[in-house]
Structure 1
Amino acid sequence: MAESRHVLVVGAGSIGRRHHANLTELGARAELIGWREYSVDLLAARLKAGVDAVVIATATDIRLPLIAVCGAAGVPVYVEKPLAFRPAELAAVTEVAKPIADRSMLGYMMRYHPAVQVLATADLSDVFQFALTIGHDVTQWRANWRFSESYAAKAEGGGVLLDLCHELDLAACLFPGLEVTRVESLGHPAFPGVDFASRVSLRWGGVVGDVSMDYLTPQLHRRSVLRGHERMHDFDFASQVYQVTEPSGVRTLDLPLERNAMFLDAMRDFLALVSGQSTSGNPLMPRLDLCLPSARLAAEAWAARTFVGEIVKEIP
């Protein structure tokens, strides 16, 4: 399937390097390009010379012109999340991506997580409340990496809400039609306009919930709790303990995970889209045109942030 596909990976950070390695493993002819050494005009010239697909793994604030060039050339893209950080910019991305949207993907690889697959197929009609949380001390993420020098430290397109928006995407998948009611954020005096902890309050019909993310907690936490009057799902993604509580008792699900398998499965589906072949059948496959409600929720949440305080932790 992928042997004849020439894919440019634009952005040579950790996620770009991962995608490049996975594409190579899947048999594609992958080429890794550091964006600082490139430009929109050079990308346009490369597309004209003949490229099958592009992976965009750059900072969020520069993706619109890249997607526009690919859309004009009819070349499908795999765009890292989030798609855009302002509703107006999202509308512009949506417009320029129309020619390729049904052959492109957004990098919500958590949709391939076995536990997310279980939630996506579960009966959640009785759920009245949910809480999705994720966080970890950002200074511990990677060796020889400084937050202050990263895309995440930028007021335009940075911050924890955008960086850790997979849980917002999960909420959008499980409860389509959610709307943002309030977003409370904590900032840092050294990084104006950047949220280090955010809580997004959401509602839809008879369901209310919160999605919380932070750059602060000393150990990784990632948990989804869905409360219903017939059952409760308590999925701890960090410890990989997944429990369903019902009137008959508690069931613990065995859902083993190899993290890179999610990235590989997502890229395998993308290559299938590029080739016009059958995809995996994942009902949550993050095809770009189908991801727009989720992308819109993230952009609306970012735009609705209200900074209610500051943290004091030193962030190098």
Structure 2
Amino acid sequence: MVIAVIGAGSIGKRHASNLEGLGETAELIGWRGFDRSVFEARTDIEAVVIATSTPIRLELIEMCARNNWPFYAEKPLAWRVDQVEAIHDAGAPVADRSMVGFMMRYHPAVRDLAARDLSQVYAFQFEIGHDVRQWRENWSFAGSYAADPEGGGVLMDLSHEADLALALFPGLTLESVDCVGHKDFPGVDFATRLYLSGTQGVVGSVTMDYISPHSLRRAGLRGRDEVLDLDFLVPEVRIADGNDTKSVSYAFDRNDMFVEMMVDFLALVRGKNTSENPLMPRFDRMFESSLMLARAWENRKFSGVIEMDMS
């Protein structure tokens, strides 16, 4: 049986390679020229990885549900509330065997956080930023999905941190969304900050940008009993209480998160036991995360523009 990977860009190629490394038969299929009727007539498809651009989600998830194929859909699922609702309704028949690609939930530092008592945390901040022009060699922002005013922008592109906030602090409410745009890309957010609050006495923010000349990815949690500062790029966490400060470092490769998540997906597909990761982004558990992201995108408030040469 075959695990079909639809979408032959960099993330699709990564998934196909990882599946082959796990001993699976993976078939990488480009979206351009994809023939749905021919594909649906096949009898050798066990599951589908959806690695297309964000607008191409609903029709493929409908296809998977129609054929009882579990799916792994790359994040984000959608940028509007009605899209999120339609996608989750469509995916319901295979929801408990499918996943959404929020792989940062498999970062070892995040898994350690999930194992801690976070009820004493009263404030948090997640932050990610880097210069979008430096992402890949010979890559053009203007010609990419990210430059599309309908669904593009940094909020959707770098949405992992917003998902992590909700994963670690369930029940958060979105208070406001402040953005900085660019004069040459109207409607596209280049820097965005979400303000969030919880019912259990926690407040926080999530910040993301396409601007920072120095790549950063970090988080800070402030609690009554301890203070935690994480650097996901090192990666390292510093833990300070009233008596001592200690540092914990993690030795791992970024691709480990993708592999571990794919192992769990294959277990879901085959009805086997998954890992003990309590944050596993199973599709039927991800509605609130996708809904918050869509609400944030719909409620962006632009307060200025960045002067940044994008040529």
The secondary structure found in structure 2 opposite 1:53 is strand
What's the C-alpha RMSD, in Å, of the aligned pairs?
Answer: 1.2
Equivalent residue for 2:250, pick from 236, 246, 255: 255
Question: How is 1:4-43 mapped onto 2 (pairs within 5 angstroms)?
Answer: 5-43=1-39
**2:269 corresponds to 1:292:** no
Find the partner of 1:210 among 192, 205, 222.
205
Write the mapping of 1:1-316 to structure 2, written as runs, cut at 5 A.
5-46=1-42, 49-205=43-199, 206-316=201-311
For residues 254-310 of structure 1, the C-alpha deviation after alignment (integer angstroms, 9 at most, x for no partner) is 222211110000011111111111111211111111122111111111111111111
| Displacement after TM superposition at 1:42 (Å) | 4.3
TM-score (norm 2): 0.97
Secondary structure in 2 aligned to 1:60? coil
CA contact (8 A) 2:109 2:236 kept: no
Residues 126-178 of structure 1 show CA distances to partners (whole Å, capped at 9, x for unaligned) of: 11111110010011011121111211111222111111111011101111001
Displacement of 1:32 in angstroms is 0.7
Aligned residues between the structures: 310
Counterpart of 2:234 in 1: which secondary structure? coil
* Matched residue type, 2:288: P
Higher helix residue share: 1
Normalised TM-score (structure 1): 0.95
Cα deviation, residue 45, structure 1 = 3.6
User: Which runs of 5 or more residues in structure 2 are unaligned?
Assistant: none
Q: Is the 8 A contact 1:40 1:65 kept in 2?
A: no
**Rounded Cα–Cα distance in structure 2 between residues aligned with 1:82 and 1:202:** 19
Instruction: Tell me the secondary structure at the aligned position of residue 302 of structure 1.
Output: helix
Moved over 2 A (4+): 39-46
Identity of aligned residues (%): 51
Q: Deviations over 1:212-251 (max 9, x none)?
A: 0001101110111011121111001123221011111111
Q: Secondary structure at the match of 2:281?
A: coil
AA aligned to 1:195 is D
1:180-218 residue CA offsets vs partner (Å, 9 max, x unmatched): 110011111222211111000000121111000001101
Matches of 2:138 and 2:269, distance apart in 1: 36
Letter of the structure 2 residue corresponding to residue 33 of structure 1: I
* Secondary structure at the counterpart of residue 123 of structure 2: strand
Q: Which amino acid aligns with 1:250?
A: T
Q: Secondary structure at the match of 2:118?
A: coil
CA distance in 1, matches of 2:249, 2:181: 38
Letter in 1 for 2:127: T
